[in-house]
Structure 1
Amino acid sequence: MQPVVIQWAGGEHAFRLGLAELETIQQKTDCGPEYLLHRINAAQWHIGDLMEVLRNGLIGAGMPHVDALKIVRKAFDNHPAILFKVPAQAVLAAFLFGPPDDQPGEDSPAGDQTQTGSNADAGSSAPITG
């Protein structure tokens, strides 16, 4: 997955959560990514939740660990904690649901078509429900 660029209290940076970063976040917050996003959305977050998501998002996008820690700590030291809620939500949502500009139902680029289902499904235009 491609990094997302987010303007936040620490500046404008690329963020990406790979599996290694997600494992670190899970260990530090004691919950999975969807539960953590719910916890943040429900205003039940801990300061460490936001810090870990942002720090690991920077690392996943290629920033060295030490630099990511410095930027996050400096930002949290100089700004109200609530300013980090929306950026943390955006980083987690990009991992869970894809980047915000990747709209459902958009045609995939030419040559990037994958075939799923059987030939019996090929001519069907009925929506799939389940």
Structure 2
Amino acid sequence: MTQTLHEVFGGAERKFRLAIGELRELQEKCEAGPATILARLMSYQPQSEFLKRPHPKDFDLGENDSDYISALNVFALVRNFGGDWRVDDVREPIRLGLIGGGITPTDAWVAVSRYVDTRPLTEHISLAAAILLKALSEDKDDAVGKTEVETTEPKAETDA
């Protein structure tokens, strides 16, 4: 059994849960497994948001300037690691998590349309990642693999 995350969303505390059905739908929507989606979300680097690509004209030797080459390599490295998430990587864990948490699909759609789609997506990356992380983490109270064996006392034989 997956765990339930309790977080404030849209001004109210909500429950988010991704069980196997929601995880399968998430895979279909995002065309990736839950761990890959989580990795993409975790790759977001806010410091790279306003990083601009260097231009050769800004360097004395243009494209052959070692400082330009270095700046271009740093830019490429930071942007590659920090920009791999996709729109549905953010939206769908939240929408499906709300459904798994107990609200109707229609109410989940309305909530995501109202509170995610109208704001910068980067505001919701941490929530989407937390929902996925909770779904993929072990529930310490779950009894999977811990079978309880029922024991009975042997009946006493009676001589009749």
TM-score (norm 2): 0.59
Q: Which runs of 5+ in 1 are unaligned?
A: 103-107, 116-130
User: What's the offset of the Cα at 1:80?
Assistant: 1.8
Q: Does 1:93 align with 2:133?
A: yes
C-alpha RMSD of the superposition: 2.5
Give the match's secondary structure for 2:116.
Answer: helix
1:58 maps to which residue? Answer: 98
One-letter amino acid matched to 2:27 = Q
SS at match of 1:62: coil
Aligned residue type for 1:17: L
Amino acid at match of 2:16: F
- Considering Cα pairs closer than 8 Å and 6+ residues apart, tell me whether 1 or 2 has the greater RCO: 2
What fraction of aligned residue pairs are identical, expressed as a percent? 31
Q: CA deviation at 1:48?
A: 1.3
Aligned partner of residue 77 in structure 1, secondary structure: coil
> Gapped runs of 5+ residues in structure 2?
45-83, 148-160
Alignment of 1:14-93 (within 5 A): 14-43=15-44, 44-93=84-133
Counterpart of 1:14, as a letter, is K
Figure out how many residues of one structure are paired with residues of the other and give that number. 107
Is residue 114 of structure 1 aligned with residue 146 of structure 2? yes
The answer to whether the Cα contact below 8 Å between 2:8 and 2:14 also exists between their aligned partners in 1 is yes
Runs of 4 or more off by more than 6 Å in structure 1?
Answer: none
Aligned partners of 1:96, 1:49: CA distance in 2, in Å? 15
Larger radius of gyration: 2
Separation (CA, whole Å) in 1 of partners of 2:87 and 2:12: 19
